[in-house]
Amino acid sequence: MATPVIEVRDLHKYFGELEVLKGIDLRVDEQEVICVVGPSGSGKSTLLRCVNRLEEPTSGQIFIEGDDITAKGCNIDRVRQRVGMVFQQFNLFPHMSVLDNITIALRKVKRLKGKAATEIARERLDKVGLADKADAYPIQLSGGQQQRVAIARALAMDPDVMLFDEPTSALDPELVGDVLAVMQRLAEEGMTMMVVTHEMGFAREVGTRMMFMDFGVVQEEGPPAQLLDHPASERAKEFFSRVL
Amino acid sequence: MDALIENFFNLRTMLDMLPGLIREGIRNTIFLTVAGFSLGLVLGLVFALLRLSTARPLRWLAGTYIELFRGLPLLLTIVFIGTALPIALRFRWPNFFLPGVLALGIVAGAYIAETIRAGIQAVPRGQMEAARSLGMPHRLAMRTIVLPQAFRIIVPPLTNELVLLIKDTSLLAILGTSIGQREILKYSRDVLGRTLDPSALVAAGLAYLALTVPMTRLVAVLERRNRRSR
Ligand SMILES: Nc1ncnc2c1ncn2[C@@H]1O[C@H](COP(=O)(O)OP(=O)(O)OP(=O)(O)O)[C@@H](O)[C@H]1O
Ligand SMILES: [Mg+2]
């Protein structure tokens, strides 16, 4: 069997006394699009943030393409170059132009020359449909455009997997579609993705697998259509009846 | 009324002292302010970062520095560095500027450290997280992403520190300054002593206001702009 892109083994995470993740096991293979759903506070974001160690796991192991990122000598900055992340709040750098937002890590982390970095940035901007916004500042863009820039910024590093934490939850409803379309195209091109989302339509259409989380454990997982149409657990039934 | 003007606004005295006031007093005040503020900025940045460090001893060190020099009267610190320290350690300051700038800078640094810390903490956490998620090491993310935004936030309070510092330079006179080294207030007091004309002090006041009022106006403008851009 090929090495999974992400593998999580018995992950526990405490915030003080509060146990937020209670033993998560997870495997994401190449080109999978795994959608993580569940009620607020169930630990979806925490799980995602553990995968690139924005949160420190309390115990358990996490492997990215076979590398144990919870091991002592692990250079997490190197691993993160292979793991793109997109946030609910976009988190573009407001003091930089769109182009600089995308090139800064290419220049300072990958040490590319300005010209090479700019070329990559323009190519990624084109991919998210914002080639004409290179010189704009984030504040001049709509939420949907900002999120697409954020996706382009993450893609510029040529990651092997992309993490999305509710990428459309902060958007006005009419702007959601553009962002989902970009994500769908990305999935079709074979990007491995882990997506926390409330967009059940997207999960059904694009997701290869769905994970229902509640109370810090994975309650149920399987093909999205199966979970959505025939949830097994009471909790999932109740959750889907509320969000659908 | 005439007597009042005669006593406090003797144009003659003021005009007579003006060239010297500019050449010596204002010049030294500006020099002391700029030098003290520069030192304060460097110390402030270093101690703000230490204050936010994950290492407890470093946080504690920074906290002690900040509490100490914000808690003591500036005058005490000036005399301690300028007079007490040389006695204790048996050395002589080569001039009065060195201990003066040192004292001003160290104390300003304590205030500025708190200002910068607040600025850094006012930058949304997501900024650091986004930078780190791109593979930037903490230091690089701090330098290129967080600090530029923090400094934009704290320009108004920093300018306030600068205004305070302009006024505080007058306290350095306690170290005993010689001709050529006097800042605005000392220079004017010497004129007062010589001429017994209170207008000398009015001139000093006007000189301070000429420096401070543009700055406080600037702060007001910056704050208004900051509010609008939020
Ligand atoms: N930094 C933190 N410190 C303390 N508690 C936290 C922290 N981050 C998250 N929590 C808590 O952990 C639990 C899980 O949070 P998490 O953000 O992972 O949930 P979520 O499933 O993403 O919810 P949502 O759908 O609202 O985003 C919550 O109870 C939350 O209050
Ligand atoms: Mg969340």
Tell me the mean pLDDT in the region A37-49: 96
Chain A touched by B38 (CB under 8 Å): no
Does the C-beta of A14 come closer than 6 Å to ligand 1? Answer: no
Mutate to test the interface with A, among B128, B133, B153 (most CBs of A within 10 A): B133
State the amino acid at position A74 in one-letter form: C
**Band of pLDDT at residue B10, cut at 50, 70 and 90:** confident
CATH classification of the domain holding B121:
1.10.3720.10
Q: How far is CA A33 from CA A5, A29, B41, in A?
A: 11, 9, 49
**Band of pLDDT at residue B28, cut at 50, 70 and 90:** very high
> B191-209 pLDDT, tens per residue?
999 999 999 999 999 999 9
**Band of pLDDT at residue B12, cut at 50, 70 and 90:** confident
Does the C-beta of A17 come closer than 6 Å to ligand 1? Answer: no
- The pLDDT > 90 percentage for chain B reads 77
Chain B touched by A124 (CB under 8 Å): no
Would the CB atoms of B129 and A94 count as touching at under 8 Å? no
To the nearest whole angstrom, how far is the Cα of A244 from the nearest Cα of chain B?
30
For the sheet with A18-28, list strands across it. A18-28, A6-15, A59-64, A67-68
End-to-end CA distance of chain A: 36
Q: CA of B124: which chain A residue's CA is closest?
A: A91
> B85-130 pLDDT, tens per residue?
999 999 999 988 999 999 999 999 999 999 999 999 999 999 999 9
* Nearest ligand to the C-alpha atom of residue A46: 1
Quick one: which atom of ligand 1 is closest to the CA of A38?
21
Whose tokens are 């420096």? That residue is B211
Give the C-alpha separation, A122 to A133, whole Å.
10
Assess whether pLDDT exceeds 80 at residue A40: yes
Q: Give the pLDDT of residue B220.
A: 86
Supply the range of the domain harboring residue B108. Answer: 2-229
Mutate to test the interface with B, among A95, A102, A103, A147 (most CBs of B within 10 A): A95
Q: Give the pLDDT of residue B209.
A: 96
> A165-215 pLDDT, tens per residue?
999 999 999 999 999 999 999 999 999 999 999 999 999 999 999 999 999
The alpha carbon of A37 and the centre of ligand 2 are apart by a number of angstroms equal to 10
Q: CA of B129: which chain A residue's CA is closest?
A: A54
> A65-116 pLDDT, tens per residue?
999 999 999 999 999 999 999 999 999 999 999 999 999 999 999 999 999 9
Question: Which value, in Å, is the radius of gyration of the alpha carbons in chain A?
Answer: 18
Would the CB atoms of B130 and A87 count as touching at under 8 Å? yes
User: In this complex, which of A80, A93, A95 lies closest to B133 when CB atoms are compared?
Assistant: A80
Under 8 Å between Cβ of A136 and A142:
no
- Average model confidence (pLDDT) for chain B? 93
- Average model confidence (pLDDT) for chain A? 96
Total domains, chain B: 1
Does the C-beta of A46 come closer than 6 Å to ligand 1? Answer: yes
Chain B touched by A210 (CB under 8 Å): no
Tell me the mean pLDDT in the region A7-16: 97
Return the number of other C-beta atoms located less than 10 Å from residue B157's C-beta.
19
The alpha carbon of A36 and the centre of ligand 1 are apart by a number of angstroms equal to 14
Would the CB atoms of B144 and A108 count as touching at under 8 Å? yes
CB-based neighbours (< 5 A) of ligand 2, an ion: A 45
pTM (2 decimals)? Answer: 0.89
ipTM over 0.90: yes
User: In this complex, which of A81, A87, A89 lies closest to B135 when CB atoms are compared?
Assistant: A81
To the nearest whole angstrom, how far is the Cα of A71 from the nearest Cα of chain B?
17
Tell me the mean pLDDT in the region B44-67: 96
Q: Give the pLDDT of residue B228.
A: 65
Give the C-alpha separation, B147 to B133, whole Å.
18
Q: Give the pLDDT of residue B229.
A: 60
Chain B touched by A109 (CB under 8 Å): yes
Under 8 Å between Cβ of B44 and B109:
yes
- DSSP string for residues in B65-113: HHHHHHHS-HHHHHHIIIIIHHHHHT---SSSHHHHHHHHHHHHHHHHH
**Band of pLDDT at residue B227, cut at 50, 70 and 90:** confident
Chain B touched by A85 (CB under 8 Å): yes
Q: Give the pLDDT of residue B134.
A: 98
